[in-house]
Amino acid sequence: MAYRVCFVCTGNICRSPMAESVFRARLAEAGLDGRVTADSAGTGGWHEGETADPRAASVLREHGYDTGHVARQFQVSWFARLDLVIALDTGHLRALRRLAPTEQDARKIRLLRSYDPAAGDDLDVPDPYYGAQDGFEECLEMVEAASTGLLAAVRERLEGRAA
């Protein structure tokens, strides 16, 4: 059975689809795309059925990432099938912990930037939605930096499963 990771932001049109796309690329580069699945969702359903924000898609394309995405809202029932739920900021972390049906499910939730040792105490990926294009570039840089550590943690988990 595949290890399942879901990235969660507010509306699932900026940060979480960017994180999903970057992480899928990292998985493919590492040869783990058959053993790990990645998807994304939003804490709210305002953008369900929409594609990624055009600015997010543009930044992803410019950096060679996939841009295919359709927004959806995170569902409580998903905890049962997910191994790791990655929040993009502390607001999402709190919202997801409130939704978690069990303590075991709450322990599956982590902040993305907690996987980036250079992040220090600032573990939020700022929402670029209300800003300019450079906010999306900054978001991508943060996501890329954290994805390396996330990949290492997931690889470690996979090796632990095989033991």
Annotation says 26 is catalytic: no
Among candidate residues 6, 9, 14, 139, the one labeled active-site is 9
Q: Which of the residues 4, 72, 127, 155 is marked catalytic?
A: 127
Is 14 among the residues known to form the active site?
no
Closest CA to 50 of 72, 73, 66, 24: 72
Whether 9 is a known active-site residue: answer yes
Quote the CA–CA distance of 140 and 138 in Å, as a whole number.
5
Options 14, 15, 39, 139, the catalytic residue: 15
Residues designated as active site: 9, 15, 127
